[in-house]
Structure 1
Amino acid sequence: MIKAIGFVALGFGVMELSGWFIHKYLMHGPLWMIHKTHHQPSKSFFELNDLFSLLFGGIAVLLIVLGAEELDYRFWMGVGISVYGILYFILHDVMVHRRLKWLERPKKGFLKGIFKAHQAHHKTNAKEDAVSFGLFVVPREFFKEEEK
């Protein structure tokens, strides 16, 4: 059981680290034509950028299927990636971008820091000059409270 929890955590962590790298160097690089739909106003519920979620979700499903018979590391890493994806959807699509209006914007704590970091990321609609490319690991500056 400890190994399973470790592989779930590893899958989650690898997703955050690889997500940061992919977001910074690929989405804001050669894959900008797809990702820019996320930085532009849209009247549609779906955007071309959602293809990335399908890709990452597909990887998670593949790992789960490949490891299901023996419940080996692939299964548990796929579960970790899936947990990351679920939390990504809730934090990014529901809380930050309000694609579904299930949650209010956070007013304090860790979630407010995530929210502020993502707002800073979207201050530009350009390929360059964006900041804060992770979802959970964001610079400390976004967790500081404003002076009143």
Structure 2
Amino acid sequence: MGFLDFLVPVVMIAGTVAFMEWFAAWSHEHIMHGWGWGWHKSHHEPHEGGLELNDLYAVVFACFAIGLFYVGSFYWQPLLWIAIGITIYGFLYFFFHDGLVHQRWPFKYIPRKGYLKRVYQAHRLHHAVKGKEGCVSFGFVYAEPVDKLVKKLDNQPKPYDKTAHLDDDERPALH
């Protein structure tokens, strides 16, 4: 086994993970906040229980990856590497979005500094606007700096929760 036999799959897997962040952000903005709002709306509203209609998007991506695993295993191996990259991205999405931001795991952890705090705050700013229009920060693993996102929200006409990105102890008390 030569060096390229190792390098090509690693580059394809890493490239797929990077592409998936771009694709996920694009589809979040243009599909989920567009014609696919029917499923995604459940994610922007309070709900009971662990699952929401929006989770069907993860099922669709998982089915696509499973199909690529099958075709890549039996017919054309590069599709297997792409499937691995999509699956790795799925785990990253689950960790960052479902776990870290929306606390869909059995313990609560809110980051207080660094990159994880920025991701957390950016997605909270995404949810600071009611409805599908006027939202910011559509990525799941990469997040723009919070001050830039706040400026974007300030420059659009729709009202938003100006405390969404603050730590719980920095938020004004609700009466």
Specify which of 51, 59, 71 is matched with residue 54 of structure 1.
59
Identical pairs, percent: 35
Separation (CA, whole Å) in 1 of partners of 2:84 and 2:139: 20
Residue 84 of structure 1 corresponds to: 89
Give 1:55 shift.
Answer: 0.6
CA contact (8 A) 2:68 2:82 kept: yes
The C-alpha deviation readout for 1:20-65, integer Å capped at 9, x for no partner, is 1110011101111110100000112100000000011111111111
SS in 2 for 1:29: helix
Note closer, same or farther for the CA distance 1:129–1:104 as it changes in structure 2 (3 Å cut).
same
Residues 124-135 of structure 1: matches in 2 within 5 Å?
124-135=129-140
* Alignment counterpart, residue 138 of structure 1, candidates 121, 138, 143: 143
Instruction: Return the alpha-carbon distance in structure 2 between the equivalents of residues 129 and 37 of structure 1.
Output: 17
Matching residue's letter, 1:14: F
Name the structure 1 match of 2:14.
9
Q: Distance in 1 between matches of 2:56 and 2:71?
A: 22
User: Over alpha carbons, which structure has the higher Rg?
Assistant: 2
Query: Structure 1: which 5+ runs fail to align?
Result: none
Cα RMSD (Å) of the superposition?
1.8
Aligned in 2, Cα 1:116/1:80: closer, same or farther, shift over 3 Å? same
Checking the alignment, whether the CA contact within 8 Å between 2:17 and 2:86 is kept in structure 1 is yes
2 CA distance for matches of 1:142 and 1:51?
32
1:137–1:43: structure 2 CA closer, same or farther, 3 Å change rule? Answer: same
Question: Structure 2: where are the runs of 5+ without partners?
Answer: 1-5, 149-165, 167-175
TM-score (norm 2): 0.77
Within the candidate set 108, 111, 126, 2:113 is matched to: 108
